[in-house]
Structure 1
């Protein structure tokens, strides 16, 4: 599964991919930067990810793709967080809190952020306490990235 956390303009996700109890990798990059600088991450059934990303890149023309057992997270450059659940329905966040978490380790991540942890620290806490969360932690901020220079 996956743990994704958002706080103070930062989106963080673990790198573990599992198949039942088998760990397939700990280095998966789960946060995608869209062409407009927005960030997209997905927890759950990843078979819909490419279709959702393409739909978002195409400026959301037509109904969203449908899938099952997933939560997609879109963080726009201005910090607006939108989630997509289950059958592709789009939901605006109804929580006034400055942070949120999704996926199998979300309870641990929420608890950590309640105690003041950053999004990255919250995912790291979930990595220690949730068997299907682990590996490298990816941390991103929305907006366009400057190319790295040597």
Structure 2
């Protein structure tokens, strides 16, 4: 999986991609921009395209193991899919830290202790074997515009 954390206008995420118990890459891109919407997804890579297609209303294979964040129209959303409702979108309060993915509990605890989103992902990397590689960040301004840094 991965760890994606949000705090104080910054989304931070690792670059590890795994398959089963093996590391496939420590330089995988986790941010995908489609039709002006930025997606930061955790879960099965094979389900990412299906979730994005379903987000835009295109019928495709059902995304089973994938969820994450989207920046759409200036709003930070948590996105995912379930069997009852299909694609769901939940607007997040930008004042509250949040994290998703296999290392989310570690990241949330770190942010509770004062860590930034980037520091929280680094903390998760120490304990979660599915989180690793580089930590990338993307800032979100009050108008929902994103700017990245590595």
Question: TM-score, normalised on structure 1?
Answer: 0.78
Note the residue ranges of structure 1 that are not aligned, 5 or more in a row.
Answer: none
Distance 2:35 2:63 in 1: 23
How far residue 54 of structure 1 moved from its aligned partner, in angstroms, is 4.4
Q: 1:77 to 1:9 in 2, by over 3 A?
A: farther
* Match of residue 127, structure 1, among 125, 137, 145: 125
Query: Are the equivalent residues in 1 in contact too, given 2:78–2:91 (CA < 8 A)?
Result: yes
Gaps of 5+ in 2: none
After superposition, the C-alpha distances for 1:16-36 in whole angstroms (9 at most, x for unaligned) are 111222111111110123442
Hey, what does 1:52 align to over in structure 2? 51
Distance 1:90 1:123, change over 3 A: same
Using the alignment, how far apart are the partners of 1:145 and 1:95 within structure 2?
20
CA deviations 1:111-147 (Å, max 9, x no partner) are 011111111111111011111111101111242559x
With structure 2 as the length reference, what TM-score do the two structures score?
0.78
Q: Can you list the C-alpha shifts for 1:11-70, whole angstroms capped at 9, x where unaligned?
A: 11111111222111111110123442x4211111221222333455xxx24568621122
Aligned residues: 142
Q: Helix, strand or coil: the match of 2:79?
A: strand
Counterpart secondary structure, 1:92: strand
- The answer to which structure has the higher strand fraction is 2
Alignment of 1:1-150 (within 5 A): 1-36=1-36, 38-54=37-53, 56=55, 60-61=56-57, 66-76=62-72, 78-87=74-83, 88-93=86-91, 98-142=96-140, 143=145
